[in-house]
Amino acid sequence: MPDYKAPLRDLDFVTNELWNFDEHYQSLNGAEEVDAELRGAILGEAAKFAEQVIAPLRRVGDEEGCTWSEEGVTTPTGFKEAYKQYIEGGWTGLSVPEEFGGQALPASMGFMVSELMGEANHAWTMYPGLSAGCRETLMAHGTADQQQSYLPKLVSGEWSGTMCLTEPQCGSDLSFLRTKAEPDSDGSYSVTGTKIFISSGEHDMTNNILHIVLARVPGAPAGNKGISLFLVPKFIPNEQGEAGERNAVNCGSLEHKMGIHGNATCVMNFDGAKGYLIGKENEGLMCMFTFMNGARLGTAAQGLNHAEVALQGALAYAVEREAGRALTGVKSPDRPADKLIVHPDVRKMILTIRSFSEGHRAFLYLLAQQADKTHLGNEQQKQEAEEMMALLTPIAKGFMTETGLEAANIGVQVYGGHGFIREWGMEQNVRDARISTLYEGTTGIQSLDLLGRKVMKDGGAMFGRFVAKVAADTQTMDLAYAAPLQRKLKEWGELATWIGQKGTSNPDEVGAASVDFLMYSGYMVNAWVWGLMGTLAKAKLEENDDVFYRAKVATADFYFSKIMPRTEAHKVSIEAGAESLLGLSDSDFEALAVL
């Protein structure tokens, strides 16, 4: 398995040169001191932890997995010890307000650290990652008493958190949710039900686990309008604020999964467990979206994580492995074969992975800046940032995970047969990456959110403002990127209008076009950031002939010539409409299922 190396040079380029984080932080309230020197110091230490502590555990976690017993769940060798180092290093409270024991750094700093951790070890990073969503939910919607009782332990990392939504009969459609919450005389609730697919639901890394649980109170309206949100601790805090009496919640079993074996994915049983209402009754779904929206961006980042792992592994292999001779003539006459990298198809694979990995990083840190603005910006900054995040989050989650999985698959292909063998780590990367397109809403669900709730809801006004922003940026781009991007921007808007018009008379047209439109949108956003990066790198090359900038220009050129044309296929598929999907009736499909 190739050693993980934190991509600090590219992260520096994106944050300091492309998006100018110094200027960004200066524009925010309370972030002025977070300069390049401080960021560099923090990321340098995060890189050491990622490379030296948790990256070596990636294969350990995959091969050992987690172990269930009636006493609880044991994580793989080294996971618990690594987590202890993590909390001792203060990483858990990086972007949390000081009043709760955090370091009050901007949210984007948490994004940067999380990227390095996720690339080093996806499964391990999920444990603290779920706790972050739990903290955000309590900070946004918890009572003062709940915040005082639970946040200090969550922020310190002594306790961890989960998100409990899914049930055996209830996946993304939460209207089928059955878990009940009966009010008790002391103001708490007795929560009863079974939740499945609960990441980090039970483990031995912390001495308490706080479950954020969706449930229904008696008499609640049917469907999504009747869902409430509860905090259910594994151990109920005692008067000293420590983990006290054991609550009636336990892990019934572990799921047997394709990948991320090092993370405990649990079936959780709540048997009249004591829970505490978060927010108001029947408004739980709104509160839970605080957790879910953050989780969607975290999942989008996993697309970047797996593309980066694929890039590092595939590139290292391609410049070392010898196989065949270059079509243009022998390149290594003193060797029996040339390096893999001389072959055009191998170069195409490497550049494809690179275009996704580095494009996703630029996309993600644009969103990280918007997250900062929603917390620390003025009213105008908050409004503009919330709008951009609303539009771009489903694109990021859907597109980055789909292409991250593609990059992971290509990583296997570069290795040939060795990629299929466990010892090289590429097949694990594929298995670990596969979940990211599924949880926090599949690509299909993200695409319906994008079209139905974001693009079409206001007649395309919000979408139009973003397209106008990209168009304005093309005015300062190198013509090689500006010209094709300007043509495609016009087409992008026309496709959105076409879908909206068709959907008015037949909503199935929206469903038929949705994933194609999301992928088209993802390629457009990446074209925008690659146009900006390629233009910037060309200017830098005039000052310094640096291979880093030459690689940026070459990858930008590759993206526009080899990747952006994929939008044509999505356009043709969109314009083909829903007709070919509706040739068989529902009963026809039912009959086919039993043939």
| Residues identified as active-site | 440
**Distance of alpha carbon 85 from alpha carbon 452, whole angstroms:** 44
Residue 483 tokens read as: 């010209």
**Distance of alpha carbon 102 from alpha carbon 156, whole angstroms:** 8
**Distance of alpha carbon 14 from alpha carbon 169, whole angstroms:** 43
Residue 303, phi-psi category: left (phi > 0), alpha (psi -120 to 50), beta (remainder): alpha
**Distance of alpha carbon 346 from alpha carbon 561, whole angstroms:** 17
Residue 39 tokens read as: 């960021």
CA-based nearest residue to 385, from 12, 10, 11, 24: 24
CB-count burial class (<10 Å; 0-12, 13-18, 19+) for 269: middle
Residues 6+ apart with CB under 8 A from 535: 476, 477, 478, 481
**Distance of alpha carbon 251 from alpha carbon 70, whole angstroms:** 8
Residue 384 tokens read as: 């503009």
**Do the beta carbons of residue 302 and residue 163 sit within 8 Å?**
no
**Distance of alpha carbon 457 from alpha carbon 503, whole angstroms:** 12
In eight-state DSSP terms, residue 175 is G
β-strand partners of 250: 269
Strands (E), 425-502: none
Residue 322, phi-psi category: left (phi > 0), alpha (psi -120 to 50), beta (remainder): beta
Backbone angles phi, psi at 335, to 5 degrees: -120, 155
